[in-house]
Amino acid sequence: MIKRRSAHIIGASLLIAASAATLGLNCFTVMQIWHARSRVPWMDEWPFIQEFILYKRGSPLFPILWSSYWGHRLVIPRLIFLANLQWASGASLTWLTLAVQSILGAFLCALSWVLVGRQSRTLFAVSVTLTLNLMLSPLQMENFVWNPQFMFPRPSFACL
Q: For every one of its 160 residues, what pLDDT tens digit does the chain have, with 9 covering 90 and above? A: 566 777 677 777 887 888 888 888 888 888 887 777 666 666 677 888 888 888 889 888 888 888 887 777 778 888 888 888 888 777 777 777 778 888 888 888 999 999 998 888 888 988 988 888 888 888 877 777 777 776 766 666 666 5
Q: What is the largest CA-CA distance in the chain?
A: 79
Q: What is the DSSP string of 76-128?
A: HHHHHHHHHHHHSTT---HHHHHHHHHHHHHHHHHHHIIIIITT-HHHHHHHH
Q: What is the DSSP string of 5-31?
A: HHHHHHHHHHHHHHHHHHHHHHHHHHH
Q: Domain extents for the chain?
A: 2-159
Looking at residue 6, its pLDDT comes to 73
151: DSSP letter: G
